[in-house]
Amino acid sequence: MPDWIAAVILGLVEGLTEFIPVSSTGHLLLTKKLLGLPSGFWDTFSVMIQLGAILAVVVVYFQKLWTVLITLHSDPKSRWFATSVLLSVLPSMAIAFVAHDFIKTVLFESVVLICVMLILGGIVLLVVDRWAPEPKEHDAMQLSWQRSLGIGFCQCLAMVPGVSRSGATIVGGVLLGIDRRAAAEFSFFMAIPTMVGAFALDFWSNRDVLTGENLEIIAIGFVVSFLSGLIVVKTMLDFINRYGLAPYGWWRIGVGLIGLGVVFLG
């Protein structure tokens, strides 16, 4: 298979799954296994195209984010929002800094672990969707610092591939008393510094393999990831409001079971 076709496929998988609670990392790793892509460059590729999906969030929420930026010096609400987002990403950034190599070289190589986490995460989504506590906060831009930090600790669970960063943060937010729409929206905002940090770390660690040809492949994945991510960001909040988290739970369980079937019966 030509590299550019693989880049398009992985870009679609990244953009379509980054912001929904199904584990984009798990789906990317399983897709790479199915396509027979080797580790090394393609692992770096998968991290770097996440920046395309993050750009989709920036585009959709540009007006809100720009307003916060230009009013940081004068508006306490803007400062509170910026502080809450930064607070929420500190736990995962600390763990990533310490355990980056272990996560990439050990956990990311286990297909069985990914599938099991997909299934367990799906069950959690089904349970939370049915028995979630009554929400007490409804504005993603004005969460209490305790809830912001709590969501940040939940995000640390996503260091295990198959858990899902958005899944961990949305479920954590709902369990902490935030309504589903606000929890999903805050997960979008958290993704910006989290993924930019992951991109920077991976870019620096693998700068020697980023040749001209490789950069062209990354650019293809980046654009596809951005365009497909744009669609998801624009539609996901309404979908969650209407259908809840259960469809994502069933999807995760189905993919996880298929993956285990391929591993043990294929």
pTM for the predicted model, two decimal places: 0.89
Decide: helix, strand or coil at residue 137: strand
User: Is there a contact between 113 and 163 (Cβ–Cβ < 8 Å)?
Assistant: no
Share of the chain above pLDDT 70, in %: 92
Angle among Cα 57, 204, 226 to the nearest 5 degrees reads 25
Query: What is the tens place of the pLDDT at every residue in 105-161?
Result: 555 567 888 899 999 999 999 999 998 889 999 999 999 999 999 999 999 998 888
Residue 173, pLDDT above cutoff 80: yes
Provide mean pLDDT across the span 187-194: 90
Reported as a single tens digit per residue, the pLDDT across 208-226 is 766 667 888 999 999 999 9
- Residue 71 has φ and ψ, to the nearest 5°, of -115, 10
CB atoms within 10 A of CB 248: 27
List pLDDT tens digits, range 65-75: 999 999 999 99
How far apart (Å, rounded) are the C-alpha atoms in residues 244 and 215? 38
Q: What is the pLDDT of residue 107?
A: 56
CA 34/CA 36 separation, integer angstroms:
5
- Quick one: pLDDT at residue 128? 94
pLDDT band at 6 (very low <50, low <70, confident <90, very high): very high
Q: Is the pLDDT of residue 63 over 70?
A: yes
For residue 264, give every residue at least 6 positions away whose Cβ sits within 8 Å of its Cβ, in sequence order, or none. Answer: none
Helices 111-131 and 246-265: angle between axes, nearest 10 degrees: 160
pLDDT higher for 8 or 36? 8
For the chain, what's the residue count?
Answer: 266
Mean pLDDT of the chain: 88
**Predicted pLDDT at 105:** 59
Strand segments, DSSP code E, in the chain are: none
pLDDT value, residue 264:
82
